[in-house]
Amino acid sequence: MISRKSMVFLILGIVMVAGIGIGIYYYDQNNADVRIGYLEGDLHQLAFYVAREQGLYQQENIKIQSVAFSNGGDVMTAFEASNRGIDMAYFGFAPALFHRFTNQAANITILAGVNVNGSALIVKNDPNIQTGEDLKGLTIAVPSRHNMQDFILSMILNQSGLTYADINLTVGMAPSNMVLALQEGSIDGYIAWEPYCIKGTENNIGKYLYRSSDVWPNHPCCIIASYNDFLNSDISTVKKVLKVHKEATEWILNNWNEAKQIAMDKMNLSEEQAALAMANIGYVYQMDLAQMELFVQKLVNLNDLISLDSPNIPSGSTTTTFIKWFVDPSILASV
């Protein structure tokens, strides 16, 4: 039997070991030069996967901690939290805009483009569904409200003479679950990012009704943003991250087949699926500021919660002055 004294020492030893373990855990987490958020399984963000696979961060002598999210709204929530868990992130322009307008804590700056196009409205393979007007009364899923896919859906409905009141909207379903739900028949369609669009067409269960490029050719989609405190305190690391992103994007464009193989491996795609999904995406790093201004105009017109009179942006903003305030292409241009 262990004596009381021995038991005390044993407990103290366990506590000390646990304390050391906890210390190492937090050291490892906090030892990263930059914590980068990204969307899990999003082919739009192939450059991020390429950068890790090709060792581009190591070449710049920076250590990253990658933090996966299910959608762009969750990324913004992480940026806004008092115990902020990320410094930079790959995610959609739409949730970045929505939160910048509606939440005072959304202190981020957009620094680079990631892709244009790349989303789609997938519906069940029913000959009676041919146009946006045929969505009336159907159950359509979106990853979250006020994200890129939700915005594209609002454009489709608007152009078809419909509103959200005309459909049954399912919110908060992960794209992988959307594919399953379409297969099971519990939803009639969904709008998501690639490769979940192409996955919904397996076995002819679903079909593309609209690619986002059909609704708005070459629309801005994913971007890279930084929390402003991090941007102001560690511009050197920010520049390195942007340099890596630029190199990774150029590598994709110059090594399409090798990039396709990475997409196949990381996202469990056949070669045909990867080829079709990647063809739906334009990989970029430069930002089209005129298109971004147009995006703001469209968002203000389609979303009653968005206004250029928001107290969270500079007073008297126009779409042009807002974009100049919210988007900074100069750092990317310097790398």
Query: Could you tell me the two tokens for 156?
Result: 């489709």
Residue with tokens 């190199």: 247
Q: Are 237 and 62 in contact (CB under 8 A)?
A: yes
Domain ranges of the chain: 33-117+219-333, 119-215
Query: Could you tell me the two tokens for 142?
Result: 């979106």
Q: Which residues sit opposite 171 in a β-bridge?
A: 142
Region 119-215: CATH code: 3.40.190.10
Give the separation between CA 226 and CA 238, rounded to whole angstroms.
Answer: 8
DSSP state of 110: E
Same fold yes or no, 33-117+219-333 and 119-215: yes
What pLDDT digit, counting tens, does each position of 257-300 carry? 999 999 999 999 999 999 999 999 999 999 999 999 999 999 99
Q: What is the per-residue pLDDT for 30?
A: 54
Q: Give the model's confidence band at 18: pLDDT under 50 very low, under 70 low, under 90 confident, else very high.
A: very low
Query: Could you tell me the two tokens for 83?
Result: 């115990």
Region 33-117+219-333: CATH code: 3.40.190.10
Q: Give the model's confidence band at 31: pLDDT under 50 very low, under 70 low, under 90 confident, else very high.
A: confident
pTM of the model as a whole: 0.87
* DSSP-based three-state secondary structure for 64: strand
* DSSP-based three-state secondary structure for 227: strand
Q: What is the per-residue pLDDT for 202?
A: 94
Q: Are 101 and 307 in contact (CB under 8 A)?
A: yes
